[in-house]
Amino acid sequence: MTIAATVDRWEPNPHVIAKAGRIIRAGGLVAFPTETVYGLGADALNPEAVKRIYAAKGRPSDNPLILHAEDAKQAAELVEFNQAASKLAAKFWPGPLTFVLPSKNIVPSETRGGLDTAAVRVPNNPIALALIHKAKTPIAAPSANLSGKPSPTDAEAVLRDMNGRIDMIIDGGSVKFGIESTVIDLTDPDSPLMLRPGGLPREEIENTLGVKLGFPDDVKRKRSPGTHYRHYAPSLPVKIWHKGDLLPENSAYMGINRPDNLGDTPSILFASTEDYAHGLFAGFRKFENDNHEVDCIFVEWPEDSSGLSEGLRDRISRAAGII
């Protein structure tokens, strides 16, 4: 049985947080909201608890987890910080930015998928921060979905995949961003690398560091195994729509621009790139659950080059199976 408890995001009920903290300390699994997507949390320093995350998600054990800390001080107990990391942490934490840095021995090999680096961030959500504080340990948390499925952006989506597989879910309403954190490799502080675009735009990081983020070569990419697996995919095929294309019959559609022949096609139209990022995964889940006559989901390819569009293109490409 999975216990479900609803709390106010800004003033989370301390009894609920205390209970969730006890479950984490006892080696259990608790799903909770962050500002990016819902996470599936366990005590990051307890190898048995971390193994339960992989089992509940069906996640390959070489795909390392992000450690969520309550502040930069706690993060610095887990990994070797350098100047670039300190500068970015001071500016963007709590927030949707994850650093890969050399791991300290305290982090079990299970949490880092056997690598000698670990990924850390401080999430910007009062429920997540209260939970980490109460659990008195960093919390390892991938997205709270079955491996390969779209990430959950509300509690209902978490329960659809995880009911009965986890001990508790804290329902704190819909998340803010809807796509995961930006992951950068800072192991060589002079040449930082973009491992996964996400909630914090590339240009903000580059402006702060005064250098461009590189692309990982094949060796580095192998060292971020999560970037190989097919991801974020609903049970229906996902195809790309470009402005001006006609929509085939029996499709669903998501995007900012309206296809000329949209008619009464099941669709979600977004007002902005941010809105689109927020609604992408929820839209995938809605079409696969509601529309049995739909046999393909078309999604608009975002052409703009700033803000969340790089992260959005990454998620769309993976859902469509083109990277």
**Shortest separation between residue 143's beta carbon and Mg ion, angstroms:** 3
CA atoms within 13 A on the CB side of 226: 23
287 to 92, 176, 276, 295: CA distances (angstroms): 34, 21, 15, 10
Question: How near is the Cβ of 137 to ligand AMP at its closest, in Å?
Answer: 18
Helix (H, G, I), strand (E, B) or coil at 197: coil
- Give the C-alpha separation, 197 to 267, whole Å: 26
Write down the least CB distance from residue 180 to ligand AMP, Å. 5
Nearer to ligand AMP, 123 or 126 (CB): 123
H-assigned helices in 58-120: 72-75, 83-92
Return the residue nearest Mg ion (CB atom): 143
According to CB under 6 A, which one of 134, 223, 315, 318 is a site residue for ligand AMP? 223
72/224 Cα distance (integer angstroms): 23
118 binds, among ligand AMP, Mg ion, none (CB under 5 to 8 A by kind): ligand AMP
User: Which residue's beta carbon is nearest to the bound ligand AMP?
Assistant: 226
Question: Pattern of binders to ligand AMP over 39-78, x per CB under 6 A?
Answer: ------------------------xxxx------------
Residue from the set 137, 143, 181, 309 that interacts with Mg ion by CB under 5 A: 143
Binding of ligand AMP at residue 183 (CB under 6 A)? yes
Interface size with Mg ion, residues (CB under 5 A):
2
- Say how many C-beta atoms besides its own lie within 10 A of residue 260's C-beta: 10
CB of 223 to ligand AMP, least distance (A): 5
The secondary structure of residue 225, as a DSSP letter, is G
Q: Binding to Mg ion by residue 181, rule CB under 5 A?
A: no
Binding string, 112-131, against ligand AMP, x = CB under 6 A? x--x-xxx------------
One DSSP character per residue, 105-142 reads TTS-TTTTTT-SEEEEE----HHHHHHHHHHTS-EE--
Distances (CA, A) of 202 to 207, 306, 309, 315: 9, 8, 10, 15
Cα–Cα distance, 29 to 21 (Å, whole number): 10
- Binding footprint of ligand AMP on the chain (CB under 6 A): 63-66, 100, 112, 115, 117-119, 142-143, 180, 183, 195-196, 223-227
- Binding footprint of Mg ion on the chain (CB under 5 A): 142-143
